[in-house]
A and B are shown apart, each in its own frame.
Chain A
Amino acid sequence: MRLWRRSVVGEQHAAPLHASAIPGETEVSASLLAVRGISKCFGNTQALDGVSLEFRAGEIHAVLGENGAGKSTLMHILAGMYRPDAGTMLLDGWPAVFNSPREARRAGIGMVHQHFTLVETLTVAENLTLSLPQQTGWRYDGVAAAAEARALAQRVGLDLSPPELTVAELPVGARQRIEILKALAHAARVLILDEPTAVLTPQEVRRLFVMLRELRAQGRLIIFITHKLREVREIADRVTIMRRGRVVGTFDPASLSESEMAERMIGDVVPARPRATERARGDVVLHVTQLSARDERDLPALVDVSFAVRAGEVFGIAGVDGNGQRELFEVLAGLRSPSGGTVSLRGSPVTDFTPRALLAAGIGHIPPDRQHDGLVLPMTVQENFLLSRTRLDRCSRRGLLNAKAARRFSTEVARASDVRADLDAPARSLSGGNQQRVVVARALAQKPAVLVAANPSRGLDVAATRTVAEALLDSACRGCAVVLISTDLDEVLDLSDRVTVLSRGRLSRALEPPIDIEQLGLLMAGVQH
């Protein structure tokens, strides 16, 4: 056993090439955790493509990248949730294979997920007991559990909420501390935090950072996933930037400006083609003035958002998820009432923020999640084509559906939108691309004055992405005002006549082609407005 292990070490030292291939690399020997050539596919999507990286003990290592860059996939592999298709993982220089999160935890790797895994109705102590290593017997001793929770908190050096409180009574920041404590309960030497600041208030972020520095001082490795440049500069010792499943490089945050980081995160994007000029622009159709909205936690999600879109124009709103994109879509679709400001269509303000009223007023939409908000999967393709209040009115008489009109309409739309599927087959049997074609075709069949599209090509293959893009541009050519809200920067740049960025609920000023990528990156990172 010993001998075998030695030989592995030998191999590692004999092959320093991998390590030196990482830009900004200085030394290899102190590496606590390393990955070599890790690849992972989901279906047709290459989530990770030959990723090599090393992490050291006693550092806070930020992993930076856009949505879909592969950060989370990599972390899930480190924490034993996914198994890589190719590549190896080294812990203390030894090859490590984790078949489950439990094995990773035993090896000292703890992960705190973006979505907490606490049982809200249980107390703090009970939640900690659930994840403590040794549990024997069948009796639960509340007093002992509380004492153990306190001892654990003291050992780790974190202050803990009173163990007797139920989790439901605690604010988000306190819940996150329990999650971190849970991860550390197994004497974790590696702590992975998946976008820990996304749910926190600025004050809570400050507390979190104080805590992370303490944990670093204890010699632990902290891997910190984020897409916020400011945080990287504030807390990270090193930063690895990822893009489209590959590592761009590992850097010293102090040596890079925020705009340099943003540029590496976004990459060399092909500038938008001058398609904009080919279309005739009409009058302003959609006018949004100082729109504000609050999210479920009653925190401001949109702040004084103002923009105007003309007929025939594609107005792109870029930005990273969680910066008000969902709320903006919901307001424009009538699912969420604004807390302030106005939305006007062709000069007349919207007063009734219901899906029905907005559909009737001429706003069509492509929702961000076609399976959740767009389709009724068990219903047939034809029934899904009819799924719209205004369409139902047109295909019925005196409350009864007109089967012939419905069939004629669906056949026509299916042909026009290239949906090659049996109209009587359930929508669930369609491929993702065909499902999205149904959603897009249905929205366009209404001939909307304004089309609000949210991440219209998310998860689609190349061909389906192209048809969706063509459909959006076609509708613009026919005089529709298109609002494209997307986290896919390529998509926004390819299709939009003007581009803005929604960051922390605020909309930046609009950029027009030729678009300066560096400037856009800064806007996306929320550095300037």
Chain B
Amino acid sequence: MQALAARFGPSVLALAGALAVSALTVALAGRDPAVAFGALLDGAFGSADSLSEVAVKTCPLLLCGLAIATSFQAGVWNIGVEGQLLVGALAMAVLGTHALPLPAGLTLGAYLIAAAAAGAAWAGIAGVLKLRRNVNEVISTIMLNFVALGLIGYLVQGPLMEAGGRYPQTDAVLPALWMPRLVLGHRAHAGLLLALLIAGAMHVLLRRSVAGYEMRAAGLNPAAARLAGIDVDGRLLLSLLVSGALAGFAGGIEVSAVTHRLYEHFSPGWGFTAIAVGLLGRLSPAGVVVAAVFFGALDAGSNAMQRAAGVSSVLVAIIQAIVILSLVALERGRWLPGGQAAARREE
């Protein structure tokens, strides 16, 4: 219990601070914070439809948050979850227009795995650059985001543009490959269940498996891990690949379940919000689940807040930003590249 409090205490503190500052912002803008937050809550949990929207927003945030947790726990700063998600979505959009001589469910499974593989491969570029050429993964993964974005921009306006040629988007994936919905008439889909299953699997990987132990040890103290006979480079690469696979999987699900096609501004920045999700969830899979639901609710509720209370949905971005900044400050930057060494020196 005490350990739990120590682990998640900073998260609660950061959240409280973020809510306080955003309430102040609303008040300064001449609106009533109570009304705004009321509208936000109502927009997120007020009806079956809004709950369904929360589920839809939570799914990619959860998978991407797990991607952040996996890599950050191994001391690999994968800021490229956004790009890996886009590449996974691209794989699903391209493959999804083709049928396989298999039952639709199996085809969908195979394509989702392919999307995950595409995300892993995209992350693997940064991994190989790091191990072979000592390129800092923060730089390379951020840059690969832009490459992915540019690549998709080119493809949807060129070779992959829909057959009708009206909009810069791909053809819709075959309806047989659409992710089944949870409740008829609502957008909430089975992808969320998959994501929750994967969260359980990631818990086992990180906390119960030898590979996860080695990833954490390699991330926290590479010198000691190496001396103990752990293949540090291999573990760092593995964590990056798993992280990329989770992001790619998220992209694949999003295409199959929600958008059915790929277009230029396909992601509203899930890969970046996921950093806040991961940090708020203290890089633990269970924590990430809670944090993803929270951010999903913020996202879903913000539109209602804008309509009902006249407060811009940008407020949600403010909350996210304050959460990240206060968490990093509370931990004295221990999670940032080089931060562990600095924290060690202080002690």
Contact = CB atoms under 8 A, between A and B. Distances in A.
Interface of A: 333-335, 354-356, 359-360, 365, 367, 371-379, 383, 386-390, 392, 396, 399-401, 403, 424, 428
Contacts of B226: 335, 355
A131 to B, nearest CB: 24
A356 B217 contact: no
B344 A401 contact: no
Contacts of A355: 226-230
| Interface size range of chain B in the complex | 20 to 34
Interface stretch (B10-18, B79-87, B205-213, B252-260): B205-213
A354 B229 contact: yes
A367 B208 CA distance: 27
A387 B217 contact: yes
A387 B224 contact: yes
B229 A401 contact: no
A367 B213 CA distance: 21
Contacts of A403: 208
Contacts of B210: 392, 396, 399-401
A213 B230 CA distance: 52
B141 to A, nearest CB: 24
B1 interface: no
A388 B229 contact: yes
Contacts of B138: none
Given A333-B227, A387-B225, A379 B217 contact: yes
A380 B227 CA distance: 18
Interface in B177-223: 204, 208-211, 213-214, 216-217, 220-221, 223
Given A359-B229, A367-B224, A375-B221, 17 more contacts: A335-B226, A335-B227, A355-B226, A359-B228, A365-B227, A372-B223, A373-B227, A374-B227, A377-B344, A377-B347, A378-B220, A383-B217, A392-B213, A399-B209, A399-B211, A400-B208, A424-B3
Interface in B215-251: 216-217, 220-221, 223-231
A360 B231 CA distance: 14
A428 B340 CA distance: 13
B229 A367 contact: no
Given A383-B213, A392-B214, A428-B347, A376 B229 contact: no
Contacts of A365: 227
A387 B223 contact: no
A360 B228 CA distance: 11
Nearest to A396: B210
Nearest to B229: A389
Contacts of A389: 228-230
Q: Which of A355, A367, A390 has the most CB of B within 10 A?
A: A355
Contacts of B224: 367, 372-376, 387
